[in-house]
Amino acid sequence: MSYKIGIPRALLYYEYYPLWKEFFTELGAEIVLSSNTNKSILNAGVSSCVDEACLPVKVFHGHVEELKNKVDYLFIPKFISVYKKEYLCPKLLGLPEMVINSIDNLPPVIDVEINLLKSDDNLHKSVIEIGKIFTSDNKKIKLAFDKAISRFNEYRKLLANGVIPIEAIKVYNKYVNSITTLKNSKYKILVLGHSYNLYDEFLSMKLIEKLQKENMKVITPDIVDIGKINHYISKLPKRMFWSFGRKIVGASSYLIEEKAVDGIIYISSFGCGLDSVLIDLVSRKAKKYKVPFTLVTIDEHSGEAGVNTRLEAFIDMIIWRDRNEDYISTHG
């Protein structure tokens, strides 16, 4: 009999889903994903989560509520660090505890700690610990994980080739075979933020799709070369010790300094502690290099008027500025 493993479609799902899916499938388990975020998930999350958490954490609770009666195990690893000398957000560090203490009648939770703060070797320990639920054969676990990693790297190759995760995951899931490329998109917009805010289309109110419909080419930090990110982040006077911060600030610094974007939109969930620092770093840099920057704060709103107005005005401004520059250049 194969176990059913529930993976909530929230938070780090948007970073690592293909990896865990391959790993569990190799071990003979069946993956059960929660639905795309919707109103009932949001409502369930808001009512079960502690009220001072940020929106994406609340939504995660909603996804757990949807899955809890359908699966044998819930997979909520305790992510401490995914990169040497760096941490994730404190709310991710305490995620399994938060969920276990807020939601009743949960199936067993796989809350193995993943901590690469000191060394990557710790990952193997964590992987073996997860695999033990399914088999006592350590070799089999290791082999399953190696296979998963190599397929995960294929997925990441798509990102490296400039396919944003929203589309890459569709290719991975075989919803589509190829990527539709925009014709003549003149403007490149960098959309920044934590991946779980950017790619959850319910939370971001399809902001990326709306930009693409306006014929804007969308760039997100996930498709920026990791070497460039690390190089540009090292220019900061103090080391960035958040992995998300490194990615967001490093990617934006590179693209701003290289004048590779026409505008930046930052999607942030209300009350995010990391973003309060990151937004300031990015907006200062953008100002210095005269790149238009705007912030979209998301919370429980379902009215889209606010987001749409900011988006339309931002696009208008970019086109208006651009036309004016053309005008000057022909005469001067």
User: Which residue ranges make up the site for another protein (CB under 8 A)?
Assistant: 35, 38-41, 202, 206, 210, 213, 270, 283-284, 287, 290, 292-295, 297, 299, 301-302, 304-306, 308-313, 316-317, 320-321, 324
Q: Which residues contact 124 (CB under 8 A, 6 or more apart)?
A: 142, 145
Q: Tell me how far, at minimum, the Cβ of 268 lies from another protein, in Å.
A: 9
Q: Select 210 or 247, whichever has its Cβ closest to another protein.
A: 210
Angle in degrees, 0-180, between the axes of helices 122-131 and 138-160, rounded to the nearest 10 = 120
Q: Tell me how far, at minimum, the Cβ of 246 lies from another protein, in Å.
A: 23
Q: Tell me how far, at minimum, the Cβ of 270 lies from another protein, in Å.
A: 5
Rounded to an integer, what distance in angstroms lies between the CA atom of residue 210 and that of residue 205? 9
Q: Select 132 or 284, whichever has its Cβ closest to another protein.
A: 284
Q: Which residues contact 101 (CB under 8 A, 6 or more apart)?
A: none
Q: Select 34 or 81, whichever has its Cβ closest to another protein.
A: 34
- How many helices (DSSP H) and strands (DSSP E) are in the chain? 14, 10
Distances (CA, A) of 17 to 11, 22, 123, 326: 10, 9, 16, 44
Q: Select 39 or 85, whichever has its Cβ closest to another protein.
A: 39
Q: Tell me how far, at minimum, the Cβ of 237 lies from another protein, in Å.
A: 20
Rounded to an integer, what distance in angstroms lies between the CA atom of residue 203 and that of residue 201? 6
Rounded to an integer, what distance in angstroms lies between the CA atom of residue 274 and that of residue 4? 34
Q: Select 130 or 207, whichever has its Cβ closest to another protein.
A: 207
Q: Tell me how far, at minimum, the Cβ of 286 lies from another protein, in Å.
A: 10
